[in-house]
Amino acid sequence: MRLRGVFRAAKLPNGQRAIGTKWVFKIKCKADGSIEKYKARLVAKGFRQKYGIDYTETFSPVVKYVTLRMVIAISKHFGWPIDQLDVVTAFLYGVMKEQVFCVIPEGVELDSTFDCLELVKSIYGLKQASRVWNETFDEYVCSIGFQVSDFDPCLYIKTSDGHCVFILVYVDDVLVTGSSLELIAQTKNDLKTRFEMTDSGKCAFVLGIELLDGEDGSVTLCQRRYVDDILKRFGMDDCKAVASPVDMSSRLVSSDATTKVDAPFREAVGALMHLTTATCPDIAFAVGYVSRFMENPQEEHWVAVKRIFRYLQGTKTHGICYKPSARIDFRGYSDADWAGDLTDRKSTSGYTFMLLGAPVSWGSKKQPSVSLSTSEAEYIALSLAIQEGK
């Protein structure tokens, strides 16, 4: 922090207030679960900040999962390398726009004439920290010749002499790939010139997703460790596997009961949602189905959630496999049931887009209105798919 010039000693002005800080200690693990390093981080108590006084804008984009999957699939199709970099203490690069003071952290000694620290750079915990960092990274990457994708603000593209290179960024995780080894090396050197980075070389694990290379040039995306973690977390690590995530013989309905099931229903559905958006399109409908009962879950709803866990028990090693082919084949499909919800008789839309024989984008959503026919339900589903396809 001293090297980055994060703080400067100050005396708290009249009418200003200093926010608190705390030290947070964390163990960072490798893809196989072994310990990589021990981390200590000074975090601001951002919940004490006041809008319009010490922060304004807070939104910061991250790369979309669909972008990540498409770039990985295309890279494997053309045989491009995918290199991974990690920005060391990324938030400490962002220059503060607002005037923010913090109390003197534990272990820091100052001259008695000073009673606080003024933040020159952002630190973890501030409401605007991620936005300030994203603006800093975006400004630099654009200055070295990259253009921001119209589809995803965290995908940067650069072309030179018939070659191209891509940068994907998710907070402080950076992936670089492209058609030219020279361009990739130059891009990495440019980034390292501006930011301190850890170069992990070939990407094998990103955002909790394993990238498993096959002998035929394919790559499989899976989350085995995450599945094991949530099965253990919800006491399902010894459950018996089933062949499907939904019991088609039972139909769930909302309940008006005054009591709820004594189970971590919402936490479980939230954990499953992450799998659904990242690498498990096969549970998209099932998770969307049980999420309709978050307000007042009953025992039968919890049984349906546990069935999804049982399905994952038998498919934890499954993943999305992209295989190189003679040509890039991109296809989209949509479908819908009709009046599937027994309570309001609304239908459910579903869609998937396939690239190189595997899904890159998918979704399942309850329709907002009642369809008068199966054709109408299908058209609503098609409209949803077209919106995603754009």
Q: 103 and 22 in one domain? A: yes
Residues with Cβ within 8 Å of 85's Cβ and at least 6 positions away in sequence, in order, are 173, 174, 175, 176, 188, 191, 192, 197, 198, 199, 200
In the predicted structure, residue 1 carries a pLDDT above the cut 80: no
Quote the pLDDT of residue 338: 93
The answer to whether residue 176 sits within a structural domain is yes
How would residue 373 be classed by pLDDT, with cut points 50, 70 and 90?
very high
Q: 163 and 28 in one domain? A: yes
Of 288, 315, 342, which residue constitutes the final position of a domain?
A: 315
How would residue 70 be classed by pLDDT, with cut points 50, 70 and 90?
very high
Pairwise CA distance, residues 152 & 140, whole Å = 17
Q: 359 and 242 in one domain? A: no
Quote the pLDDT of residue 232: 96
Pairwise CA distance, residues 89 & 197, whole Å = 9
The answer to whether residue 212 sits within a structural domain is no
Measured in degrees and rounded to the nearest 5, phi and psi for residue 315 equal: -125, 20
Of 260, 281, 315, which residue constitutes the final position of a domain?
A: 315
Q: Does 29 or 299 have the greater pLDDT score?
A: 299
How would residue 293 be classed by pLDDT, with cut points 50, 70 and 90?
very high
The answer to whether residue 213 sits within a structural domain is no
Q: 340 and 263 in one domain? A: no
Quote the pLDDT of residue 34: 80
The answer to whether residue 320 sits within a structural domain is no
Domain count, the chain: 3
Q: Does 159 or 250 have the greater pLDDT score?
A: 159
Q: 203 and 342 in one domain? A: no
Q: 196 and 105 in one domain? A: yes
How would residue 31 be classed by pLDDT, with cut points 50, 70 and 90?
low
Quote the pLDDT of residue 256: 83
Quote the pLDDT of residue 39: 85
The residue range of the domain holding 269 is 222-315
Quote the pLDDT of residue 190: 96
Average pLDDT over residues 161-168: 94
How would residue 359 be classed by pLDDT, with cut points 50, 70 and 90?
very high
Q: What is the separation of C-alpha 87 from the centre of its chain, rounded to a whole number of angstroms? A: 17
| Weakest mean pLDDT among 78-82, 104-108, 246-250, 383-387 | 104-108
CB 110 within 8 A of CB 9: yes
